[in-house]
Amino acid sequence: MAFCLTKAKKLIYNHLKSKMGSLGIINHGNWTHPVSFSHPIPQNLKKPDTFFTNNTTLFASRRFESIIAGKHLDSLRNVFDEIEVLNFPGGKVKFTSEMKFLSESPEERIHCYRVLDDNGQPTVHSNSVQIGEEVAVKMYNDMVTLQLMDSIFYEAQRQGRISFYLTTIGEEAINIASAAALNIDDLIFPQYREAGVLLWRGFSLQEFANQCFGNRDDNGKGRQMPIHYGSKKHNYFTVASTVATQISHAVGAAYALKMDGRDACTVTYFGDGGTSTGDFHAALNFAAVMEAPVIFFCRNNGWAISTPVSDQFRSDGIVVRGQAYGVRSIRVDGNDALAIFSAIQAARRMAIGESRPVLIEALTYRAGHHSTSDDSTKYRPVHEIEWWRVARDPVSRFKKWIESNGWWSDEAEFELRSSVRKQLLHAIQVAEKVEKPAIAEIFTDVYDVPPANLCEQETLLRETIKRHPQDYPSHFQFPL
């Protein structure tokens, strides 16, 4: 690239020199030709019109319309126009004599799209997708279930029954509404605070409990810490503790979907902290270049463990990063289920229909601690947590909306809560009693078949256990 630029500069200079000398007039009608930057305008530069007016104008042509000579202008005018642009890969660049640096931030922060106000009332002139009673009620059901699961599993950890837990408190709308707007064929590459997506897709409370207890029935064979869910059946890739490494997987998988001509996209979730990783930047750039149908969903909840966003980045959040990579982006209210639902559905349509990535930044708040290993009151004021929990709770906001539609009642609420609570307690009791995976599972799945060294090590382990049974847990817990 540097080479091209140098070459271009030299050509321009030489040309100027010769023309100025001989003709005394600037005539650069053809200087752009030797520098053959013939790249077409990338599709990604298309201006995203709103989802509701399906009108796609070429961003480039709109942006450069002032330098395109009109048919009625004479050729001289044409010549003077052309000297003011550099034909560069990606499109023409206008020259300017004004030395002006781009501002580090927009004059006003990027606006946040919302549909429901804090009282659950639709804002005037809101353009959102219509959601019917059945879907809305299921969404509310699942948000409540997620909340109850969090509170009961959290308690189970506090009682020492499971080793670890991590809640989604405050982010129920993000979890459930985004899942509701997707198709089951869309593949999820989660971080670790999106259990609700799996819940929406039909992962049972028993399956959640089995994973947290690491028993024989866990899909992951008890190998990972609690909350590292994964389900092939639900197109939900297994959670890893590593932050943001999943983002570029979603791009590769999206490329595969595109190549297979599938009517599906991938969706990857991550937090504000995750956007500081190299993987985030790599993935956005790759997705733009590969034109991959992937939705990047950033849950900007303000906190990466104890690190506030002010210590994380100085950009206007995440949404502004999209344009730098040539990726469409939108900022939504992460506590407004209807806004999330609408944005995801629009993003999905663009991603698949136009083979492009889309970035969504949802503004929200991690109303719980980072995990059971964390006490967030040590680094943030309690009243701040309380304000988000009470005034901006996404679940009660959505409840007000379905109530105002006449789709929900106090009786339904009572029934739902008591029924889910019972199911959760039952799931825990069952999961606790299921035995641990067999010892052989230590050695399987490292490779498709265990190689010689693993077979040897398995034999050695079994012999050692037999020789020193008192030093190992009883056979009941870990069947040989």
Partner 1 sequence: MATSLRRFGRLALISRNWSGRGFSTSPSGEINSYSNIQQSEGKSINLFSAINQALHIALETDPRSYVFGEDVGFGGVFRCTTGLADRFGKHRVFNTPLCEQGIVGFAVGLAAMGNRAIAEIQFADYIYPAFDQIVNEAAKFRYRSGNQFNCGGLTIRAPYGAVGHGGHYHSQSPEAFFCHVPGIKVVIPRSPRQAKGLLLSCIRDPNPVVFFEPKWLYRLAVEEVPEDDYMLPLSESEIIQEGSDITLVGWGAQLSIMEQACIEAEKDGISCELIDLKTLIPWDKETVETSVRKTGRLLISHEAPVTGGFGAEISASIVERCFLRLEAPVARICGLDTPLSTCFRTLLYAHQEQDIGCNQVNNKLLAILLL
Q: Hey, which residues are catalytic here?
A: 155, 241, 370-371
Span from 57-65, 91-99, 158-166, 219-227 in contact with partner 1 (CB under 8 A): 219-227
Contact 440, 462 (CB under 8 A): no
Site string for partner 1, 23-62 (x = CB under 8 A): ----------------------------------------
Per-residue tokens: 85? 């642009």
Q: Toward partner 1, which CB reaches closer, 161 or 216?
A: 216
Contact 378, 405 (CB under 8 A): no
Distance CA 116, CA 338 (A): 7
Can residue 238 be called a binding residue for partner 1 (CB under 8 A)? yes
Span from 62-70, 221-229, 381-389, 424-432 in contact with partner 1 (CB under 8 A): 221-229
Choice from 11, 16, 69, 289 touching partner 1 (CB under 8 A): 289
**Residue 149 DSSP class:** H
Q: Toward partner 1, which CB reaches closer, 106 or 278?
A: 278
Angle between helices 394-404 and 172-181 (to 10 degrees): 60
Site string for partner 1, 337-366 (x = CB under 8 A): ------------------------------
Percentages of the chain per state (helix, strand, coil), in multiples of 5: 45, 10, 45
Minimum Å gap between C-beta 165 and partner 1 is: 18
Can residue 224 be called a binding residue for partner 1 (CB under 8 A)? yes
Tell me the DSSP string of 236-290: BPPP-SSSSHHHHHHHHHHHHHHHTT-S--EEEEEETGGGGSHHHHHHHHHHHHH
Distance CA 276, CA 317 (A): 11
Compute φ and ψ for 425, nearest 5 degrees. Answer: -65, -40
Count of other CB atoms within 10 angstroms of residue 332: 29
Q: Toward partner 1, which CB reaches closer, 237 or 341?
A: 237
Choice from 145, 191, 231, 275 touching partner 1 (CB under 8 A): 231
Minimum Å gap between C-beta 233 and partner 1 is: 8
Minimum Å gap between C-beta 252 and partner 1 is: 3
Per-residue tokens: 333? 């209210």
- Return left, alpha or beta for 90; rule: phi > 0 is left, psi -120 to 50 is alpha, else beta: left
Can residue 212 be called a binding residue for partner 1 (CB under 8 A)? no
Amino acid at 18: S
Can residue 189 be called a binding residue for partner 1 (CB under 8 A)? yes
Adjacent-strand bridge partners of 298: 270, 361
Choice from 452, 467, 471, 476 touching partner 1 (CB under 8 A): 452
Choice from 221, 380, 389, 417 touching partner 1 (CB under 8 A): 221
Can residue 232 be called a binding residue for partner 1 (CB under 8 A)? yes
Distance CA 365, CA 12 (A): 54
Can residue 245 be called a binding residue for partner 1 (CB under 8 A)? yes
Can residue 451 be called a binding residue for partner 1 (CB under 8 A)? yes
In three-state secondary structure terms, 102 is coil
Can residue 259 be called a binding residue for partner 1 (CB under 8 A)? yes
CA 469 vs CA 57, 265, 460: distances in Å: 73, 51, 14
Choice from 240, 425, 430, 434 touching partner 1 (CB under 8 A): 240
Span from 200-208, 234-242, 405-413, 419-427 in contact with partner 1 (CB under 8 A): 234-242
Q: Toward partner 1, which CB reaches closer, 283 or 339?
A: 283
Can residue 213 be called a binding residue for partner 1 (CB under 8 A)? no
Q: Toward partner 1, which CB reaches closer, 173 or 294?
A: 294
Starting at the earlier edge strand, list the strands of the sheet with 328-333.
187-189, 266-271, 294-300, 358-363, 328-333
Q: Toward partner 1, which CB reaches closer, 266 or 345?
A: 266
Choice from 453, 462, 466, 473 touching partner 1 (CB under 8 A): 453
Distance CA 426, CA 423 (A): 5
Q: Toward partner 1, which CB reaches closer, 176 or 182?
A: 182
Contact 458, 440 (CB under 8 A): yes
Q: How many residues bind partner 1 (CB under 8 A)?
A: 47
Positive or negative: CA dihedral 222, 225, 229, 231: negative
**Residue 122 DSSP class:** B
Choice from 76, 135, 446, 480 touching partner 1 (CB under 8 A): 446
User: Which positions lie near partner 1, rule CB under 8 A?
Assistant: 189, 218-221, 223-224, 228, 230-232, 237-238, 240, 242, 245, 247-257, 259-260, 266, 278-279, 282-283, 285-286, 289-290, 444-448, 451-454
